[in-house]
Structure 1
Amino acid sequence: MPETMRALAHHTAGGPFSEVELPVPTPGPRDLVVEVRAVSVNPVDTKVHGGDPGGEAKVLGYDAAGVVTAVGDEVTLFSVGDEVYHAGSIARQGTNAGFHAVDERIVGPKPRTLSFAEAAALPLTTITAWETLFDRFRVRPDDGGTLLVMGAAGGVGSMVIQLARALTGLTVIGTASREESRRWATDLGAHHVIDHHDLVAGTAAVAPDGVDLVFSPRTAGMIETYAELLNTGGEIVAIDEPEGLETLPLKDKSQTLHWELMFTRPLFEPPDMVAQHDLLARVAELVDAGTVRSTLVEQLEGLTPENLQRAHERVADGHMVGKIVLTM
């Protein structure tokens, strides 16, 4: 393994990406060092890019697929040569580099039937969707009820639909306004797809008795509407962080708002941290069985500053269907 690697970094808030040479990471006791073959870009990348890196070379990237090239002394789940996929941690350097150090407890075996590019589209959104359904909503396999998936054609929405259909009895309603987005959500398994521009009327048309659960990637200004749509005791999972969010409209019907951050386990290392490894392994099985599919839509050849900038712009415009991936 080489001593140094090429990476893409920025040095100022929102600043340009440039190639830098950094040391290849040395694995900690529970770490893998992964030779990165493909990465994808998520909204969190654009958000962190806008923060001040303090003059240091900040490497972004919170999705990758690659090959294990070194392991720490306490690693038990993987060996050198294994093909893996993972999302990493916002507390560490990212995946936009030749090699990436990551705790084995948040890494999964790459689905055998997928290319590295197809696999790199999945980890962050898969973890977020799984934790939304099974950690926050605590849905069980035999549970019924109705789930409203806002932004159904987005990265996380796409995985919420697929996992809900594959592993629960929920009726899934997705929201989408463009024909491309509506078709995408339907193809992934949504029972109904409605236009978010007329959410109340659209929901009433397909779920006249109301909905039980709402997945919300953009929550600002929506709480009163969600309170109206949700049944008594209904629940929301939000993955954004709108300033000054007022939740009082949820009180009358004893409704609940949950927060979901898939980086919580990597940041705080709770006793169940390995749950992210387990869920990625389970989803790899679902992919290989043909039950869940990759959400890769656009692939850029080469991890270059120009391609990374282009991918950030595509994600930031808010109209992405599925995921965009850069390959080495």
Structure 2
Amino acid sequence: MADMMRVVGFRENVAVDAEMPIPSPEGHDLLVRIEAVSVNPLDVIERARRSAKPELGILGYDAAGVVEAVGGQAALFQPGDEVYYAGSIARPGTNTEYHLVDERVVGRKPAGLDFAAAAALPLTTITAWETLHDRFRLAREATGTMVVVGAAGGVGSMLLQLARQQFPDLTLIGTASRPESRAWAEEMGAHHVVDHHGDLAAAVLEIAPQGVEYVFSPYSAGKLTAYATMLKPFGQVTALDQVDARASELFAKSLTWHWEMMFSRPLYAPGDTTHHDLLNVVAELVDAGQLRGTMTKRLGPIGAATLAEAHQLMESARSIGKVVVAGW
């Protein structure tokens, strides 16, 4: 193995190809040879946040690849294993030829997916799983109605699939605006699809006149009144974005507002193996044909030009499913 590795970073909002020394794994770390990465809205947010910093920022929070070496305390994987993961926001990103990651947030790659398709899954699947199980705390026999805002996006695509597979008595209303987005949401499992650019509350209440129990919200600004209108008393919202949720209408119905940040466990419970276990279960579901991949756009090879293109697709807010960049 060479001493240097290829990396793609962003400096002052510009994608840059560079080289860095290959790191060595210690403790519970794996050194993974990256075969594919996917791009999430978080990448775009982090790129903008770092735009004024002169140093090269290495982004990327999804990856699939092959374990090259392991640290002295690593016991879950060995060299040659094919893996996928979302890693930790506290460490350098995955847009590198080789990457260090704590094995306790890594899962076995689904055997039935290639590296590109597998790289599309970790971050969005963990987010969707934690929304359903840790935030809404749904039981298998859960009933009622859930609104999935942005149902054709990466998280929405997995949330719909997981909800249909794990909570069969739950009614799912997805939101999407374009014909192709609506078709994708229905394919992912939405029972109904409404347009989130119109009167969202009215459209939802036409389907569920008594109101809904749950709302998943990847972008919440300007939507609190609609959510408060469509939710039944004691209903719940799980949001991915930072928005002031102290609106009086939420208080009046005793509504619960959750935030979901999938990096909370890697950041604050570094020894927790929940993500490892979760990703292994998802791999089994994928290989059993109970979940499908969400990659809709594959770019390559991994480099400054293709990562810049992938970021542009994210910024367009018109992408469906997941955008993946694969190969060197």
TM-score (norm 1): 0.96
Distance in 1, Cα, partners of 2:170 & 2:84: 28
The equivalent of 1:89 in structure 2 is 88
- Is 1:59 paired with 2:90? no
Question: Which shows bigger deviation, 121-130 or 19-28?
Answer: 19-28
> 2:148–2:217: 8 Å Cα contact kept in structure 1?
yes
Aligned length: 324
1:41 maps to 39
Structure 1 residue 88, shift from structure 2 partner: 1.2
Q: In the alignment, residue 23 of structure 1 is paired with which amino acid?
A: P
**2:286 counterpart of 1:281:** no
CA distance in 1, matches of 2:238, 2:295: 24
Distance 2:245 2:315 in 1: 22
> Which deviations, in whole Å up to 9, do the C-alpha atoms of 1:128-170 show, x marking residues without a partner?
1001110111111121121100000001111110110111132
Q: What is the CA–CA distance in structure 2 between the aligned matches of 1:122 and 1:71, rounded to whole Å? A: 23
Q: Does 1:174 align with 2:181?
A: no
| 3-state SS, counterpart of residue 252 of structure 2 | coil
Conserved 8 A contact 1:5-1:99: yes
Residue deviations 1:30-88 (CA, integer Å, cap 9, x gap):
11111000001000000110123743221111101000011111112111111000011
Q: Is structure 2 residue 210 aligned with structure 1 residue 209?
A: yes
Gap regions ≥5 residues in structure 2: none
Q: Does 1:156 align with 2:155?
A: yes
Whole-angstrom CA distance in 2 between matches of 1:114 and 1:247: 44
The answer for the alignment partner of 1:268 in structure 2 is: 268
**Cα contact 1:220–1:245 (8 A) shared by 2:** no
Moved more, 142-151 or 246-255: 246-255
Distance 1:231 1:115 in 2: 43
* Distance in 2 separating the partners of 1:326 and 1:152: 22
| In structure 1, C-alpha distance between the alignment counterparts of 2:154 and 2:227, rounded to whole Å | 21
The amino acid of 1:28's aligned partner reads E
The 5 Å alignment of 1:231-242 reads 231-242=232-243
Could you report, residue by residue, the CA deviation over 1:9-49 in whole angstroms, capped at 9, with x for unpaired residues?
1233x2x1111111112113111111000001000000110
Contact 1:238-1:260 within 8 A present in 2 as well: yes
Q: Give the structure-2-normalised TM-score.
A: 0.96
- Superposition misfits of 4+ residues, deviation over 4 angstroms: none
1:230 corresponding residue in structure 2 = 231
Deviation of the 1:198 alpha carbon: 2.5
Aligned to 1:28, the other structure's residue is in SS state coil
1:210, 1:231 within 8 Å by CA — same for their partners in 2? yes
- What is the root-mean-square deviation in Å for CA atoms of aligned residues? 1.2
The separation in 2 between residues aligned to 1:114 and 1:144, in whole angstroms, is 32
| Equivalent residue, structure 2, for 1:21 | 19
3-state SS of 1:10 partner: strand
Quick one: which amino acid aligns to residue 20 of structure 1?
A
CA–CA distance in structure 2, aligned partners of residues 274 and 182 of structure 1: 36
Q: Deviations over 1:167-218 (max 9, x none)?
A: 1132111011110001001011111111112212211222122110000011
Contact 1:174–1:190, Cα closer than 8 Å, also in 2: yes
Which amino acid letter does the alignment assign opposite residue 199 of structure 1? L
Q: Which 10-residue stretch deviates more, 121-130 or 203-212?
A: 203-212
Q: Deviations over 1:284-312 (max 9, x none)?
A: 11111111111000101201211111100
2:302 is the alignment partner of 1:303: yes
Q: Is the 8 A contact 2:245 2:257 kept in 1?
A: no
CA shift, 1:245, in A, is 4.4
- In the alignment, the residues of structure 2 paired with residue 247 and residue 156 of structure 1 have an alpha-carbon distance, to the nearest angstrom, of 26
How far apart are the structure 1 equivalents of 2:208 and 2:30? 47
Seen in structure 2, the aligned counterparts of structure 1 residues 25 and 247 have a Cα distance that, compared at 3 Å, is farther
Amino-acid identity (%)? 51
CA contact (8 A) 1:152 1:185 kept: yes
Instruction: Determine helix, strand or coil for the equivalent of 2:67.
Output: strand
Contact 2:240–2:259 under 8 Å retained in 1: yes
Distance 1:211 1:270 in 2: 36
What is the alpha-carbon distance in structure 1 between the residues aligned to residue 140 and residue 72 of structure 2?
A: 38
SS of equivalent residue, structure 1 residue 50: helix
Match of 1:257 in 2: 257
Deviations 1:79-138 (Å, cap 9, x if unpaired)? Answer: 111100001111111111101111111111000000100000111000110011101111
- Aligned 8 A contact 1:218 1:239 in 2: yes
The question of whether the paired residues in 1 share the 8 Å contact of 2:32 and 2:100 is answered with yes
Q: Is the CA contact 1:45–1:61 (under 8 Å) kept in the aligned structure 2?
A: yes
Alignment-derived partner of residue 107 in structure 1: 106
Q: For 1:27, what is the secondary structure of its paired residue?
A: coil
